[in-house]
């Protein structure tokens, strides 16, 4: 078998608003429009990922939290209704997902070999988390590529940002090694917003863009700082300041999805492409792509 590789990594935010605004047939609620800059960013990223012809899409999602170790999917197909608990009026999505069980279990084995606790989901009624479903829909709305989902261990909350980063590094390295051994072409999705304070009141029309803005300026400055580092290929330095970013911007990255991605990619020193940045109910979100074979962005 030829050597597999991670052909790209994407920071792929999952506000349900982006699917709601797209009006796909799988989602019940209907909208008029909204959050176009981010949705167009996803369109560009989608075309770029499709051109890489991946065999599998891997997701690390904050909305599949696990307090004891990590969970992996052990069945080839999951179907169900995914409902966002905070925005059920925006996201009620019927999914039908194919899982690459072989790769899922290979990653599980390598994570376990590092002394981490793991468990495998074998309940066919298990409901997949909306953070995974949303970014997968936005990257591949035709759902014709199998997936691997990895739960997000909560050690950053339970212990510290530093412990969380150590755990994400173990899982990131295990992911890369398993992909290489598999012979497959993999794209990794870190399902995460950046700054994550959001407004607690919604306009009467959720997609009324006259209400959409960043929650506060400090948050925006932090988002721009980390995006600038990504565009300059300064991911080692970004990992160094991640604990501070997580706290100062109340960032969703605290869960470790971005750490996992950067570690799995071998901590890129080449420029990422920022396809777009926008706010959703006050949170900061960017669609960012790392493709080693075609580094782009600011030099």
CA-to-CA distance for 218 and 224, rounded, in angstroms? 10
Binding span for ligand 2X7 by CB under 6 A among 18-26, 67-75, 238-246, 279-287 = 279-287
Q: How many CB atoms lie within 10 A of CB 44?
A: 14
CA-to-CA distance for 251 and 222, rounded, in angstroms? 9
Binding span for ligand 2X7 by CB under 6 A among 27-35, 41-49, 177-185, 276-284 = 276-284
Name, in order, each residue with C-beta under 8 angstroms of 83's C-beta and a sequence gap of 6 or more. 91, 92, 93, 130
Binder of ligand 2X7 out of 15, 206, 278, 284 (CB under 6 A): 15
Residue 189 interacts with ligand 2X7 (CB under 6 A)? no
Give the end-to-end CA distance of the chain in Å, rounded to a whole number.
36
Residue 11 interacts with ligand 2X7 (CB under 6 A)? no
String marking each residue 58-77 x if it binds ligand 2X7 according to CB under 6 A: --------------------
Residue 12 interacts with ligand 2X7 (CB under 6 A)? no
Residue 90 interacts with ligand 2X7 (CB under 6 A)? no
Residue 29, both tokens:
């609620």
* Residue bearing tokens 């948050």: 219
CB of 87 to ligand 2X7, least distance (A): 6
Binder of ligand 2X7 out of 193, 195, 257, 291 (CB under 6 A): 193
Q: Which residues of 1-22 are buried (b: 16+ CB within 10 A; e: fewer)?
A: eeebbbbbbbbbbbbbbbbbbb
Binder of ligand 2X7 out of 179, 281, 287, 288 (CB under 6 A): 281
Binder of ligand 2X7 out of 152, 167, 235, 280 (CB under 6 A): 280
* Residue bearing tokens 């606790």: 117
- Footprint of ligand 2X7 (CB under 6 A): 14-16, 193, 198, 252, 280-281, 283
């Amino acid at each position: 078998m030829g050597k597999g590789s991670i052909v790209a990594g994407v920071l792929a935010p999952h506000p349900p608003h982006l699917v709601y605004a797209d009006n796909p047939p799988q989602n019940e609620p209907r909208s008029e429009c909204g959050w176009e800059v981010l949705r167009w960013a996803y369109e560009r990223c989608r075309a770029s990922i499709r051109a890489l012809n991946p065999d599998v899409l891997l997701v690390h999602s904050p909305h599949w939290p696990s307090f004891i170790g990590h969970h992996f999917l052990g069945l080839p197909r999951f179907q169900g209704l995914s409902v966002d608990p905070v925005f059920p009026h925006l996201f009620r999505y019927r999914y039908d997902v194919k899982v690459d069980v072989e790769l899922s279990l290979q990653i599980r084995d390598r994570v376990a070999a590092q002394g981490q606790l793991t468990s495998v989901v074998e309940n066919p009624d298990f409901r997949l988390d909306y953070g995974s479903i949303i970014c997968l829909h936005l990257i591949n709305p035709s759902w014709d590529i199998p997936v691997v989902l990895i739960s997000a261990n909560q050690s950053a909350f339970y212990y510290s940002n530093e412990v969380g980063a150590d755990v994400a590094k173990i899982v990131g390295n295990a992911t890369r090694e398993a992909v290489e051994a598999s012979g497959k072409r993999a794209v990794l999705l870190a399902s995460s917003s950046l700054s994550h304070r959001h407004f607690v009141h919604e306009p009467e029309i959720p997609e009324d863009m006259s209400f959409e803005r960043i929650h506060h300026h400090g948050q925006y400055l932090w988002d721009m700082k980390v995006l600038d580092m990504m565009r300059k290929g300064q991911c080692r330095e970004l990992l160094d300041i991640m604990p501070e970013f997580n706290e100062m911007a109340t960032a969703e990255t605290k869960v470790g999805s971005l750490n996992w991605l950067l570690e799995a990619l071998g901590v890129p020193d080449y420029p990422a492409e920022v396809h777009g940045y926008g706010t959703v109910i006050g949170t900061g979100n960017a669609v960012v792509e790392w493709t080693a074979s075609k580094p782009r962005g600011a030099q």
